Structure 1
Amino acid sequence: MDPEEYTDAVFAEALPEERAFEAALRPKTLDELVGQDRVREQLALVLDAATARGRTPDHVLLSGPPGLGKTTIAMIIANQLAAPLRLTSGPAIQHAGDLAAILSGIGEGDVLFIDEIHRMSRPAEELLYMAMEDFRVDVVVGKGPGATAIPLEIPPFTVVGATTRAGLLPGPLRDRFGFTAQLDYYEPADLHRIVLRSASLLDLSIDDDAAREIGSRSRGTPRIANRLLRRVRDYAEVRAGGHVDRAVAHAALELYEVDELGLDRLDRAVLHALCVSFGGGPVGISTLAVAVGEERETVEELAEPFLVRLGFLARTPRGRIATPAAWQHLGLSVPSDAAQLSFDDAD
């Protein structure tokens, strides 16, 4: 299974109350959005300038890892413009006709949000070029020599594209976006504020230190912060009378195997296998996945990026290797050649 299809499948299996939980916590305006200060200010200028001119804003491309708020920002854009939001995704647009059907229902000033836009088919991308630039598309009717192209005029609208892999977008498509925002991982202070805001919306009694504890273990990602908050809330309601202090948050997160840096069971299993079973590497990703009993895509997409960010794991031409920090985090003695291996074999 493709890594992104795996992620989509996991999300599709999420309980309805989980999706409702996340939707309820989404900020509705740029002023409510916590973090991403640079992007927030830039986007506010784009929207305010377009509103002052009485025109639709330039098309917007949102790029960044999952869980940082791309869908939320698309909803905020539509809300700030008081415009209808139409949602679709790249995998759902596999033929030019799929996109033509969506565009035929677009109204003036509408916001069209295309999630995972890099996964659109090439014929659909080419049709989108014309729609974004000229606000028209040519719909081909019939086949062979008798085929006829019927021009379809589209009222001015704004495309908001979201991608986790901006490098896969063709140049002509990227060039048609007037504003590109690269979302960064959130600082612990911002996640602390997000947890406090979410707890307030949930009428959850929580201490400041507890919110900071949850934020620090959220891997720089608001979606994870809100999910951890829900698990802590469950623990508090069942075992602590409903109030969350630092001790309750710590106990709950330990129960769910989320350590002080945000590593979960899979992350630690990968590090343990790499350091203990394979002496720090180098080892191939497929071998590493078998050692922890997971699919290669699961390890590569869910565990590796965070371990690399923390400086615990390095990808090299010969395979994955553990850095001295990984050994130290596991409480193991660092081999004398670990540091040299890390720097000599790094890409």
Structure 2
Amino acid sequence: MRAKEETEEDLEGRGSLSSLRPHTFQEYIGQEKVKENLLIACRAAASRGEPLDHLLFHGPPGLGKTSLSRIIASEIGVGFKATSGPIIEKPGDLAAILTSLNHRDILFIDEIHRLPRAVEEVLYPAMEDFHIDIMIGSGPGARTIQVDIRPFTLIGATTRTGLLTSPLRDRFGMVMRLNFYSPKEIEAIVLRSAGIMGVVIEDDAALEIATRSRGTPRIANRLLRRVRDFAEQKGDGKINLHITREALALLDIDEAGLDGMDRLILETIITKFNGGPVGVEAIAASIGEEKDTIEEVYEPFLLQEGLLVRTRRGREATEAAYKHLGIKYTPPQTTLPLR
């Protein structure tokens, strides 16, 4: 692997999907309040000739954290470097990146909650005072030297804010949450992406894809590509509602946007654990999936849709989950029956 810094394409997959990403705030659909605040902050920083305040994006995956970060760099007119927490293994790796930044550049760290603690501590003086402390030598003769770095902006992205340490979280001047998109916003994204791809798509087909995309642009674009393939092989290449429904049925995406794993999670809670409450570790063991994947990828949407609730005792399937799966609902027995 070359160095420890990667481009956005390295982080999110090379290929034509990169051409679907927006390049300006005007092209970026949704997250209106976030965009408005960012535009004000970017223009203010640019007018003063200062770096933008350090910024933390949080929220479910696939909502556009990386795209927004690149747009910010473009809006201000500065350089952009991207990396991710898991690949920065040693303090020296981060030091090499920080010392390579130019004045006011933006450093984007995805999955920032996965930074090793020793690496994270290098960020503290870098974020506050724009210097890093480098240890020279080892043992009793070791000494620390202070190296100044050019003022920069750190943009962190995380799906798990609760895993961030307080010292790191408190050093961000701006903290912004990205929320799931509305079906209409996703529909607009699908229509825009189809135009870029040169695909003819009917409005009702775009809305059908949108309603099954879990409020997530990344998923919408992925489904659009699969429906396009289906339309080319099973039809004349044009995407209409009938073709879309056939393709999504083949992909096992139901009308609510749930896929096979979503339904398996709910079915497991209902059939194996009497609807819950049950710990996520037990669910993960039962379905053969990683605990973190359940918490980061599947749970947010199930919670958003009211199909799952989290309590202090664990996860519970809601009455809506039973109805969606066609299973008769039995209310949980919360109190002992009277004799």
Tell me the TM-score normalised to structure 1 length: 0.87
Counterpart position of 1:330: 325
Quickly say closer, same or farther: Cα 1:261–1:241, change in 2 above 3 A: same
Amino acid at match of 2:39: A
Counterpart position of 2:33: 38
Find the partner of 2:308 among 300, 310, 313.
313
Quickly say closer, same or farther: Cα 1:13–1:54, change in 2 above 3 A: closer
Contact 2:11–2:83 (Cα < 8 Å) also in 1: no
1:52 to 2:43 alignment: no
Find the partner of 1:169 among 156, 164, 172.
164
Counterpart position of 1:64: 59
Hey, what's the Cα distance between the residues in 2 that align with 1:316 and 1:175? 28
1:138 to 2:133 alignment: yes
Quickly say closer, same or farther: Cα 1:165–1:303, change in 2 above 3 A: closer
Q: Deviations over 1:8-55 (max 9, x none)?
A: xxx9899xxx63232111101111110000000000001000111122
Find the partner of 1:124 among 114, 119, 124.
119
Quickly say closer, same or farther: Cα 1:169–1:289, change in 2 above 3 A: closer
1:235 to 2:230 alignment: yes
1:78 to 2:94 alignment: no
Hey, what's the Cα distance between the residues in 2 that align with 1:284 and 1:129? 35
Find the partner of 2:201 among 189, 198, 206.
206
Hey, what's the Cα distance between the residues in 2 that align with 1:129 and 1:13? 24
- Shifted more, 125-134 versus 90-99: the winner is 90-99
1:262 to 2:221 alignment: no
Quickly say closer, same or farther: Cα 1:287–1:146, change in 2 above 3 A: closer
Hey, what's the Cα distance between the residues in 2 that align with 1:276 and 1:72? 40
Q: CA deviation at 1:158?
A: 1.1
Hey, what's the Cα distance between the residues in 1 that align with 2:292 and 2:55? 30
Q: CA deviation at 1:144?
A: 2.2
Contact 2:54–2:173 (Cα < 8 Å) also in 1: yes
Unaligned 5+ runs, structure 1: 1-10
Find the partner of 1:157 among 152, 158, 161.
152
1:22 to 2:2 alignment: no
Hey, what's the Cα distance between the residues in 2 that align with 1:175 and 1:318? 30
Contact 2:45–2:51 (Cα < 8 Å) also in 1: yes
Q: Deviations over 1:125-175 (max 9, x none)?
A: 222111111111122211123223222111111111111112222222222
Q: Deviations over 1:171-226 (max 9, x none)?
A: 22222222211111111111011101100100000001111110111111111111
Contact 2:57–2:156 (Cα < 8 Å) also in 1: yes
Q: CA deviation at 1:323?
A: 1.7
Contact 2:199–2:228 (Cα < 8 Å) also in 1: yes
Amino acid at match of 2:183: P
- Shifted more, 85-94 versus 220-229: the winner is 85-94
Classify the secondary structure of the residue corresponding to 2:100: coil
Q: Deviations over 1:270-299 (max 9, x none)?
A: 323333455434445455445545455554
Q: CA deviation at 1:333?
A: 2.7
Hey, what's the Cα distance between the residues in 1 that align with 2:297 and 2:55? 27
Hey, what's the Cα distance between the residues in 2 that align with 1:254 and 1:78? 40
Amino acid at match of 1:197: R
Counterpart position of 1:111: 106
Hey, what's the Cα distance between the residues in 2 that align with 1:118 and 1:195? 31
Matched residues, percent identical? 51
Quickly say closer, same or farther: Cα 1:291–1:165, change in 2 above 3 A: closer
Classify the secondary structure of the residue corresponding to 2:56: strand
Q: CA deviation at 1:306?
A: 2.3
Counterpart position of 1:184: 179
Classify the secondary structure of the residue corresponding to 2:15: helix
Hey, what's the Cα distance between the residues in 2 that align with 1:319 and 1:328? 21
Counterpart position of 2:245: 250
Q: CA deviation at 1:246?
A: 1.2
Amino acid at match of 1:48: R
Quickly say closer, same or farther: Cα 1:231–1:138, change in 2 above 3 A: same
Contact 2:60–2:300 (Cα < 8 Å) also in 1: no
